[in-house]
Amino acid sequence: MDFLEWIVTIIILTEFLLGNCANVFILLVNSIDSIKRRKISSADRIITALAIFRIALLWATVLNWYSTVFIAHTYSAQIRLLGRITWVVSNHFSNWLGTILSIFYLFKIANFSNLLFLHLKRRIENVLLVIFLGSFLFLIADLGVVDINKTTWMSVHEENMTLKSKLKHISSFANIPLFSLINITPFSISLTCVLLLIYSLGKHLRNMKFHGKGCQDPSTMVHIKALQTVVSFLLLFATYSVCVIVSGWSLLNEQIFLLCIVIGTFYPAGHSCILIWGNQKLKQALQLFLRQTRC
């Protein structure tokens, strides 16, 4: 490996270990808590499922990096297909579960007198279930492109160069626009949640000021905490999507491709750390664990 590949290797492995530790920690804490209480809240269900698919996304990303740096010439079509399917599925649920978590925070924290909002708030479980099931349409479309890629990879050893060339063009041009379209939808929903939370916070602060009360009330702090979590997800999601799109256009440029993997890997690792910091139960469990390890 050259110097750049060594640097990329160190950073990716650090992100990989950090992300896996954070997600496994979330998974263990929520699982143990649900066993003790014999029930699990809606937020904990979403965060636990998110942690599972973030672990899968990290492994798929590292496999992609490993195949690019070490075994690019011996990477079989079957392994390539398996890695691609794993990445598509884990990426899909990672993005959509993060978006669903943003929607959950919006309906649980924001205060609006709109009848439609109140109606949806009372049926938040059904709303989230419908959104989750509806996201499968995007997953089917993305897996359809994987099927085109499979045909391309399987035709590498064929002598029909015209078919091979056409399939390569179809797969390369279909991947990027489709990925952009698929990610615009959850990104737009998350952005709407951020704007509505900001509006709700501003409305709450005006009411508090009108009644001569301070701004450091529990509702304000809950709004701010939720905004920090949702905005961090939105920024990391946007950065990650840009990196995936750029890497798709620069497959022949290994340096840019590896740089995009390094930046993009921070999304499943960094957001999980932010979730631990923003969740009171997870934060207390982490502090307890750190105190015990010091002893």
Residue range 113-140, pLDDT digits in tens: 888 888 988 999 999 999 999 999 888 8
Split at pLDDT 50, 70, 90, the class of 84 is confident
Question: Does pTM top 0.75 for this prediction?
Answer: yes
User: Which domains, ranges and CATH numbers included, belong to the chain?
Assistant: 3-294 (1.20.1070.10)
pLDDT at 154 over 70: no
Q: With bands split at pLDDT 50, 70 and 90, how would you rate the model's confidence at 112?
A: confident
pLDDT band at 178 (very low <50, low <70, confident <90, very high): low
Confidence band for 20, pLDDT divided at 50, 70 and 90: very high
Residue 91 has pLDDT above 50, yes or no: yes
The amino acid that residue 23 corresponds to is N
| Long-range contacts of 176-184, Cβ-Cβ distance < 8 Å, separation of 24 or more | 176/245, 176/248, 176/249, 178/141, 178/142, 178/145, 179/142, 179/241, 179/244, 179/245, 179/248, 180/241, 180/245, 182/92, 182/138, 182/141, 182/142, 183/95, 183/237, 183/241
Please report the pLDDT score of residue 170 as a whole number. 46
Rounded CA-CA distance 224/120 in Å is 22
Per-residue confidence at 165, pLDDT binned at 50, 70, 90?
A: very low
Which residue reads 């905005």 in tokens? Answer: 231
Query: What whole-number distance in Å separates Cα of residue 3 and Cα of residue 7?
Result: 6
Q: Which residue has the higher pLDDT, 228 or 147?
A: 228
Give the per-residue pLDDT at 150: 53
Mean pLDDT, to the nearest integer, of 247-262? 72
Q: Lowest mean pLDDT of 94-98, 105-109, 150-154, name the range.
A: 150-154
Confidence at 211, pLDDT banded by 50, 70, 90: low
Task: Report how many helices (DSSP H) and strands (DSSP E) the chain contains, helices first.
Answer: 10, 0
Is the predicted pLDDT of residue 161 greater than 50, yes or no?
A: no
pLDDT at position 160 is 47
Average pLDDT (135-156) is 68
Using CA atoms, how far residue 235 sits from 2, 62, 232, 253, in Å, is 31, 22, 5, 26
Tokens 């978006």 belong to 99
Residue type, 32: I
Residue of 243 and 31 predicted with greater confidence: 31
Give per-residue burial for 53-90: e unless 16+ CB within 10 Å, then b. bbbbbbbbbbbbbebbbeeeeebeeeebbebbbbbbbb
Percent of the chain predicted with pLDDT > 70: 77
Q: Report the mean per-residue pLDDT for the chain.
A: 80
Find where tokens 């490993």 sit: 66
pLDDT of 291 > 80? The answer is yes
- Between CA 145 and CA 88 the distance in angstroms is 10
How confident is the model at residue 74, as a pLDDT?
A: 55
Q: How confident is the model at residue 1 (pLDDT cuts 50, 70, 90)?
A: low
Which of the four pLDDT bands, split at 50, 70 and 90, describes residue 246?
confident
Beta-carbon contacts of residue 230 (< 8 Å; ≥ 6 apart): 102, 105, 106, 190, 193, 194, 197
